[in-house]
Amino acid sequence: MQVDSKATVQAFLDASVRGDESAMRALLHVDIEVVEADSLPYGGVHRGADGFLALIRRVFTTWRDTQVSVQSVVAEGEQVVMLATMTGRGRETGTAFTMPIAEVWTLRDGKILRVTPHYLDTQLLCDIAAGRR
């Protein structure tokens, strides 16, 4: 059976917007891992559905007024690339940011196995999170 990787990622994003944790979990591979840049306040490898969902909460609570706007989702086979913009404000200073991001999603057996976000400027995010800007 052919799996539509783009539709799977979109279904996860839609469930995330709705706050439907059950639907999100159903789309995750048992070996799911998300690899964030080590320098970020939420950096490192986050494993398992619980780890991924905790990471999502942490990202959105590290900043104030956090939003992610998806511009495009492109898929080929089990690889999906999402281009988006993350906006928010520093908790301490209120400094606003707009950050282009690209995420590489890898699926296996129709489930999301790995997500690797790439931010345009991790130093800016670290400075804002630390209250230096």
Does pLDDT of 3 surpass 80?
A: no
Whole-number Å distance between alpha carbons of 19 and 17: 5
What is the tens place of the pLDDT at every residue in 78-110?
A: 999 999 999 999 999 999 999 999 999 999 999
CATH of the domain at 124: 3.10.450.50
Distance, in Å, from the CA atom of 2 to the CA atom of 110, rounded to the nearest integer, reads 9
The number of folded domains in the chain is: 1
Domain that holds residue 102: 5-129
pLDDT > 90 fraction of the chain, expressed in percent and rounded: 95
Are 90 and 128 a contacting pair, CB within 8 Å? yes
Q: What is the pLDDT of residue 2?
A: 59
